[in-house]
Amino acid sequence: MAKKKYINTKDVVRLTGLTTDEVYALIHKGQLKAHKAPKSGWRIEEELVLQMFPEARAKVDADVKRVTPQPDVVIPTTLITGREHYDFLISHIREAKKSVLIATANAKRFSIGETEAKATSESFLDIIESLANDEVDIRIISSSPSKGFIEEMEGNERLMNSPYFKFKTCRRSHMKMVVIDNRIIYIGSANITAAGMGPRIDSRRNFETGMVSSEKSLVEQGINIFEEVWSKKRCSSCYYKAECKL
């Protein structure tokens, strides 16, 4: 079954030419199926918008990322750099079917879906919420999540109450790793931030490099390392174990 993608009122206005008040009216009449997220406002099913306004589909197609996920294709071990982190990782995270494991040092709130000059207000955590709603298991470890990231996460009741989403902090975890569906792995320098993995233009993003692969042995090693940290198997020798909240 295809995943439901949610967009916000600004996206609906951009795609359809409606005013904000006209979008709200359709929501309240029940013609657009939507739910209200604490931090990002109304979340509206994109497919219903496209069915009601067929001309909007061309605009959505124009926003498609340069790198499209191909789940059945073997991904050779490949070096990625700069904007390729956004193009590759965000698109593949969106299309996850079973699970996403994320290890990051920094975690910050950032927007997704740049149409070259400006990003929409859909955030990284909105994608995570959508995956959890589709029963994709999400686990994130971060050593230093920002106040904004924590506030957005904790303010999203649907996400926090989902049995498919879990988040832990580990002061010693400096890993930057993503494992998608136990099939694709990323290991590199990028954190879950706008400058690392977001859609920023080159002049405003970090100099990042990383490796992506679907090579089975690499994926298995990455999962094993993640699980050792997640399950506290590495805690016994840690200097910070007395104050650990893992």
pLDDT digits (tens, 9 = 90+) for 164-204: 999 998 887 889 999 999 999 999 999 998 888 888 777 77
- Strands of 6-7's sheet in order across: 6-7, 41-45, 34-37
**Nearest one of 207, 160, 208 to 38, comparing CA atoms:** 160
Three-class SS of residue 57? helix
**pLDDT (mean) for 152-160:** 91
DSSP state of 90: I
**pLDDT (mean) for 208-228:** 94
C-alpha dihedral, 188 to 93 to 12 to 205, nearest 10°: 0
Whether 220 and 135 have beta carbons less than 8 Å apart is answered as no
pTM of the model: 0.69
Residue 40 — very low, low, confident or very high, per pLDDT cuts 50/70/90?
low
Q: Which amino acid is at 147?
A: K
